[in-house]
Structure 1
């Protein structure tokens, strides 16, 4: 074999080797840009082993049909040495900063068909994006507001709790104890109807609030966090015209009430 034949053979072998390198694929990608087994390279073999912090909004725009130029614009050049000509597989190392400032690292793969348009996309781990921690949303509980009918707690014009009233307030105390009362302030407010002297109504409403407070304390609510208020007939719910009569007394029942509010000392709510 003369010199020229040897040189020609070397060129052919070299060209085949170069072409092989240019079209290298580790995931056995078919003409449709699909694979039954996506294979991810070792991160240590990356040309850019530090990876990149990808723009998540750009990543969400990745879809079949994108050209390599479009993929490049969205997520940059691949991080591994996959070749240069008609490469059907691009691999990346992506980092995601989470709300708690920790970093989640995943590998990402794009497969191209024979027309060099992107068709398949893979993550390792597969659930990479779902692992991203959602921002912690503080759970704000609604302020506790309880309201009890005065008629269910007291006899008419009385500040002494009835047997039914004792039962209601005991149950209320148990509900309060089921929640943490640290940093809380409990406000018990008594209300009466308009019948009678306004000053005496205010005194009655406060006395009723004190009776509820005493029962709460007996059932384990710290006396130091309880405040009592007597509003008398200053905040009516209903207006019932006429002088005192059984019908008017019944009509005014919604005004005879006891309210309990649990207030957060720090927020005032």
Structure 2
């Protein structure tokens, strides 16, 4: 009996060593204990993905933008999946991905994405190859307004009942606002290139609750617009929690603080427009 147990343990040890050795070529060297740096980043060859990830995946961009420092491995996997390369088994502090992104012209860009973890197995730093692919993780890459963009800011206090976030929870005043927005979008639909909906909360409450609430409200607004006839393929929605506050408040009284922070509780709808030539071109297609 003892001999059999010893043999099993020996076999497991050998397999663990072999697994670690097989991953050595894919792993960066000298990852810092805090996960913020490494002595040398090592990128696996794109063709070395595991069979199930051959060719990479097409992640949801809104999910990629929710990848941030502090996520554990299960939370990261829930957003963008498990790593696409063989990383070894024991003490893994790095995950590598092969992502594909499709632009408005149907052109596909392939990017490698690397996550470094700290000693507590929490994601801390992120790297892209080529570096230009980092735009897919940056929320304001789409959110920046330009001369061909229009931005609508909707108060969630007016849109939704307290702490609610579904289409059924949209108030009458909220429906009035969204109906007006829908009319504007449909009137100028030949010029609409894409619509980016971003939900925000104030700083009160936990990060997880705020991230979830802001995302559900952004998707509720998206679903309402789609129900009114706005093409779903034009719309991208995401929740950004307490990010990018427009007002800071120091009120000691909680009721006054909640009232002061109201402008931060909002849904921003960014409408990117085609140039006039694009309008004529689309209208005649």
Alignment TM-score, normalising by the size of structure 2: 0.42
- Structure 1 or 2: more helix by fraction: 2
- Greater Rg by CA: 1
Alignment TM-score, normalising by the size of structure 1: 0.44
